[in-house]
Structure 1
């Protein structure tokens, strides 16, 4: 006669096997989410550099033209649902460091949307019809923290590029000359240990590092 049910021993065995498989694959799933986020950020840093190369901001009639350079700006605000997100924009109106809707780059994959995952109320918030949800790294990929290394951190987590594609740190709106703030150069340089600018993305207990090389702006996983 055929059996119509599992024995208790067989059920326990199945549960143990499922537990083992979960222990193997769940960390890999988390790592994949982290890798997806890092690859997306790398792609958008490169796109920001592309915009800077194609859209030279020099204007002889504007003494503050260099404050309009294209930048990628990471922040966690009310407009992003208090999750880590980023925005690609050119601060072209009043140079206040705030990504106003008309300053934010259009999403090349969907021209009805802007390249932002949400910023403070009054700009483009996460969930708005013109926001690009995937740029909200907290909601889309579970990113819990973003840090910059000391050789590229300033008053905000921003990377901008000049017309030659050279990376700069801090906000262009803070510059008092094309490359300096208070006489200090904002071009990214290697630190004392020879390390490039490092952006660290953290997801729970896992993290990955994105490197931005001086001069060339070459960006890659460290």
Structure 2
């Protein structure tokens, strides 16, 4: 007796391929053009990169009582330098290690004194504009998140506040400005509960489109917590 075999026909295989191709045609462009998703992944990469730099570049110096103020940090800010017209203040961020160049630690990403991190892929300075102009060829323009992605607000809440995060050599996250810390392992600056960073693409009061990146205490593990499109 002839037995039927459970196998796909050529027609069925072709049909499945066509369906997948059609779905990819509609889904792929949306994925690539979604500014929330693109920026969320970019920021996540750069927060992790900041932590990585802090762990491989231990700033301990027995000859400098304030060595911890040079820890790697990521700071968000709103500046005119972060816009194309240099007239409108827009949001940006920078990854940097503060230096005392004679006037103390100021907590600002100074691109002219070698403080700002270099992107390993583009070799640009990871600053959207603070002491460096947006249109400077050395600027990592994607860090100018107001100009490039339309960001209108960045809010830190939960276990953190302000507009920056720093990491120690163990990868532990700290809140606030490192420049104002009075000791290396200041307990009230160490993050003790989940830190959340909300990035808004609409009016900051309504914030209809946004994403949230979370950073865990102690380990500094970061992840995308929510995206609202």
Q: Root-mean-square deviation (CA), in Å?
A: 1.9
Aligned equivalents of 2:48 and 2:185: distance in 1? 20
1:61 to 47, 60, 63: 63
Q: CA deviation digits over 1:28-80, x for unaligned, max 9?
A: 68982111111100000000000001100000000000000000000011221
Structure 1 residue matching 2:159: 3-state secondary structure: helix
How many pairs align? 183
Match in the other structure for 1:198: 196
C-alpha deviation, 1:179, in angstroms = 2.3
- Find out whether 1:92 has 2:99 as its counterpart: yes
Task: Tell me, yes or no, if structure 1 residue 146 matches structure 2 residue 144.
Answer: no
- Counterpart mapping for 1:163-174 below 5 A: 163-174=169-180
Q: State the secondary structure of the residue aligned to 1:34.
A: helix
Matches within 5 A, 1:83-162: 83-93=90-100, 94-101=104-111, 102-111=114-123, 113-119=124-130, 123-154=131-162, 157-162=163-168
TM-score normalised by the chain length of structure 1: 0.78
Aligned counterpart, 2:52: 50
Structure 1: 5+ residue runs without aligned partners?
Answer: 1-23, 191-195
Deviation at 1:86, TM superposition (A): 0.3
Distance in structure 2 (CA, Å) of the matches to 1:217 and 1:151:
12
Task: State the TM-score, normalizing by the size of structure 2.
Answer: 0.76
**Stretches of 4+ moved more than 2 A in 1?**
28-31
2:128·2:134 contact (CA, 8 Å) conserved in 1?
yes
CA distance in 1, matches of 2:108, 2:196: 24
1:91 & 1:207 partners in 2: Cα distance?
Answer: 30
1:34–1:143 contact (8 Å) kept in structure 2: no
Partner of 1:5: none
For structure 2, the residue ranges without an aligned partner over 5 or more in a row are 1-25, 84-88, 203-207
1:209–1:30 distance in 2 versus 1, CA, 3 Å: farther
